[in-house]
Structure 1
């Protein structure tokens, strides 16, 4: 039973399906489908030098790694590797081999500081620390039982505010890009991001196969979006919030809560059975919104950091 690590072949159906299957088993709180795997490979910005890897044992994909530079950060030399192994195939060498291959590749393309997410469990902590990674920020995954839970009543839409969907911006999504670019600047985390490339955003985000434009909801003032929640769905009853944010000039009015509540109510009517979201543990305002909506913490992950050289 030899474990081999190789690049993902996105055009081979078994590879894309195997990658998505491993991620769903190891990290069920983030939506992955074969189509989303292929999309990410095809449309990640070239400057990211994206290289997805798989670990294969006896012809079966048992582990995955997303490996890339972080070109959206103003700080040069940042790299990321997110490694996940099927829960029933751990301790067989897949994780170790994937990390080694990922680190070697990132060093080759100029990374000097590496970031890796891992679930906050003792085995993962020991694995990361043995390889020289230090513990960084933490974040929660939260789950909402949409089928059997109770959503709070819809908040009233304030005067002067109009709710619209992403589908309403199909002819010109640039206002949503501009809002996304503003709100990401204030998203808590250990890496700063800046969105400046509209064409890259269109390819990566606007045309993402999981983006549900009917459920993605924006609060608009004088026709321009000032708060939004971005909804992903996988066609299997699962919903995930990809981003929720409010423009700085409109914060404190409950608009994030408004957009997310309306999106979830429509999601339930559309047949969604469970919803996931994530929060940096220092993001108290969004944690409060999600608790009000009925989300419960289902897992915690840690951002591990390692300096190269």
Structure 2
């Protein structure tokens, strides 16, 4: 049996379905659809050097790789390569071929440092270390049973705060862009993020097919967004908190918790049964908030880093 690596064909539905199927098996705590994968490719920023690779064995897709440059980092040359192989098809060379193909592409795109998220188990960690990657920070994925769990009751906001759905900003989402940019700068990460391209943010966040402005909640103070909980959802039963943050001037008031609670209650009312989120292992304030909601850790990842010479 022969394994080959090639680019995903976003105009071929069977490719998209197989790509998503592999990722759902390996990463059941994340939310994506064939449409969202095709959208990501079609709307990738030119400087991202984005590629979606697949490993194919006798016509069957058994592995995937997400590869690109973190173009929104102020430090140039930060590449990423996230490789996943279907657990029933490991040890056939697919992972190694995906890594080597990805690294060649990123070297050609002037990457100087590569970052890879690896599931925190001995086999995956050994695989990353075999290719010269060194463990860095870790992250946790969390799950909340919306169908059978008990959410904290809704709380009324302070008199100077209004909780509004993100869809209220459809006519002009720029204030949410500014808030997202400010909050993201303080997110723990190996790769510093600096949102400065509003049009790119509209493409990659606001107009993304998974983004739900209706389920996103925003805490507004004096007419300006002060905290938010942004949501991606599959339109069926699965809900994912993509980002929760607060403007620096309004931190310490519990506004992010208010926004997220509002969003979770509306998601449950809309029929969503599972809520997922992810947090850096060092982000104890957000982990504490999620424990308060009833989230439980369902998986862990480790960020591995390799310098390119």
Could you say which TM-score interval applies, normalised by the shorter chain?
over 0.9
- SS of residue in 1 equivalent to 2:141: strand
Aligned length, in residue pairs: 309
String of CA shifts for 1:227-270, please: whole Å, max 9, x gaps: 00011110230000000000000000001110111100110010
Aligned-residue offset at 1:153: 1.1
- SS of residue in 2 equivalent to 1:98: helix
Aligned partner of 2:63 in structure 1 is 63
Aligned partner of 2:11 in structure 1 is 11
Aligned partner of 2:250 in structure 1 is 250
- SS of residue in 2 equivalent to 1:39: helix
1:39 lines up with 2:39 in the alignment = yes
How many Å separate the matches in 2 of 1:224 and 1:233? 25
String of CA shifts for 1:58-87, please: whole Å, max 9, x gaps: 211111101101111111111000111112
- SS of residue in 1 equivalent to 2:21: helix
Aligned partner of 2:194 in structure 1 is 194
My pick for the range that moved more, 117-126 or 152-161, is 152-161
Aligned-residue offset at 1:210: 0.5
Aligned-residue offset at 1:21: 1.1
Aligned partner of 2:86 in structure 1 is 86
Aligned-residue offset at 1:45: 0.8
Aligned partner of 2:159 in structure 1 is 159
Aligned-residue offset at 1:155: 2.3
- SS of residue in 2 equivalent to 1:240: strand
Q: Which runs of 5+ in 1 are unaligned?
A: none
Aligned partner of 1:297 in structure 2 is 297
Aligned partner of 2:179 in structure 1 is 179
Q: Which runs of 5+ in 2 are unaligned?
A: none
Correspondence list, 1:261-300, <5 A: 261-300=261-300
- SS of residue in 1 equivalent to 2:242: strand
String of CA shifts for 1:137-163, please: whole Å, max 9, x gaps: 000000001101111111221111011
How many Å separate the matches in 2 of 1:103 and 1:186? 29
Under a length normalisation based on structure 1, what TM-score does the superposition of the two structures give?
A: 0.99
How many Å separate the matches in 2 of 1:259 and 1:3? 47
How many Å separate the matches in 1 of 2:174 and 2:26? 35
How many Å separate the matches in 2 of 1:39 and 1:255? 32
String of CA shifts for 1:47-67, please: whole Å, max 9, x gaps: 011011001112111111011
String of CA shifts for 1:109-135, please: whole Å, max 9, x gaps: 111110000100000110011110000
How many Å separate the matches in 2 of 1:88 and 1:259? 41
1:308 lines up with 2:286 in the alignment = no
Aligned-residue offset at 1:198: 0.3
